[in-house]
């Protein structure tokens, strides 16, 4: 069996994969260009993909008729053309569950960093700017009695809600197909936890941002294209909303340049699942999915669409 791993993963997962077949992984730890990816997967029985890999019909064709499974090391699988692969008899799997707490921790950390101006204060000190304590210095806002609006009440959204309730926040929810206008009008904080689909792309656009309170903030730890970044920059500059914290970006790794200059914006480079424990568990789960399919068994986490 030939197993292609598109980018470096923890050794524990590689050990499991090597027991199932011959593993190929690029020497350089970087995202493969589309042409490199198609060349790498030639003759593959299984592919371990990352969220930046676009796995479509051209990749499946390049792999050949022996391709049996693509294991995406992520919960979301918007980077994979699932119908194109399943139409060729290729199973697609993902890694849900194991990153719930890590992502919710990061989302709530972004909320605190923004409302208590933690990142802004850090920048001030590192720039060696003069400062002195006084009662009006770098005032933020508290979370107690504020309303958190969660768009996407799945596992991560519910974990975010538990953290918010511990801080005395009131939580309201909206699913992907539910009307969101009332949530946007009501919430002091809007936190996005819905998957990226055709329906959720630019879910937060100029019109949605205009519905939010001028004092409200937006948190995005799901997928970048759920937010229209240009419209977000416009809204922040016009003070239509008070701030934003983003861990994911519309054209990742690029960031809307205007966001980089705003003090009421906190930015992190897709760190939602970035703990040693979580990333290891994600890779191990992907390996389990691969080894199960290659052994003729049902994988733990098949994607059905």
pLDDT digits (tens, 9 = 90+) for 67-78: 999 999 999 999
Token pair 């920048």: residue: 123
pLDDT of residue 305: 55
Of the residues 117, 223, 256, 279, only one is catalytic, namely 223
Average pLDDT over residues 235-246: 98
pLDDT digits (tens, 9 = 90+) for 189-203: 999 999 999 999 999
Average pLDDT over residues 275-300: 98
Residue spans per domain, the chain: 2-96+276-294, 100-267
Task: Quickly state the pLDDT bin for 152 (edges 50, 70, 90).
Answer: very high
pLDDT at 176 over 80: no
Active site residue 252: yes
Of the residues 256, 270, 279, 288, only one is catalytic, namely 270
Mean pLDDT of the residues in the chain: 96
Q: Which two tokens stand for residue 217?
A: 């903030």
CATH 3.40.50.720 fits 100-267, yes or no: yes
Of the residues 16, 61, 252, 258, only one is catalytic, namely 252
Percent of the chain with pLDDT over 90: 98
pLDDT digits (tens, 9 = 90+) for 87-109: 999 999 999 999 999 999 999 99
CATH of 2-96+276-294, one of 1.20.950.20, 3.30.420.40, 3.40.50.720, 1.10.150.120: 3.40.50.720
> Does the fold of domain 100-267 match that of domain 2-96+276-294?
yes
Active site residue 277: no
């Amino acid at each position: 069996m030939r197993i292609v791993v598109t980018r470096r993963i923890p050794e524990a997962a590689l050990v499991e994969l090597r027991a199932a077949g011959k593993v190929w992984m690029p020497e350089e730890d970087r995202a493969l260009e589309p042409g490199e990816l198609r060349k790498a997967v030639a003759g593959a029985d299984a592919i371990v993909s990352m969220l930046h890999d676009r796995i479509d019909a051209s990749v499946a064709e390049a792999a050949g008729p022996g391709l049996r499974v693509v294991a995406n090391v992520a919960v979301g699988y918007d980077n994979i053309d699932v119908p194109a692969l399943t139409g060729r008899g290729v199973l697609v799997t993902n890694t849900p569950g194991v990153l719930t707490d890590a992502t919710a921790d990061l989302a709530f950390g972004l909320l605190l960093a923004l409302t208590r101006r933690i990142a802004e204060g850090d920048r001030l000190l590192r720039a060696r700017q003069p400062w002195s304590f006084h009662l009006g210095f770098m005032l933020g806002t508290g979370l107690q009695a504020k309303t958190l609006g969660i768009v996407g009440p799945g596992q991560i959204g519910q974990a975010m809600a538990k953290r918010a309730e511990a801080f005395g926040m009131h939580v309201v929810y909206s699913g992907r197909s539910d009307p969101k206008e009332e949530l946007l009008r009501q919430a002091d904080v809007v936190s996005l936890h819905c998957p990226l689909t055709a329906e959720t792309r630019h879910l937060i656009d100029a019109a949605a941002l205009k519905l939010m309170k001028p004092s409200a903030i937006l948190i995005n730890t799901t997928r970048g294209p759920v937010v229209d970044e240009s419209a977000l920059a416009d809204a922040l500059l016009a003070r239509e909303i008070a701030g934003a914290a983003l861990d994911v970006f519309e054209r990742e790794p690029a960031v809307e340049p205007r966001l980089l200059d705003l003090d009421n914006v906190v930015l992190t480079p897709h760190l939602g699942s970035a703990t040693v424990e979580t990333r290891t568990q994600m890779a191990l789960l992907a390996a389990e999915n691969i080894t199960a399919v290659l052994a003729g068994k049902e994988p733990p986490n098949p994607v059905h669409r």
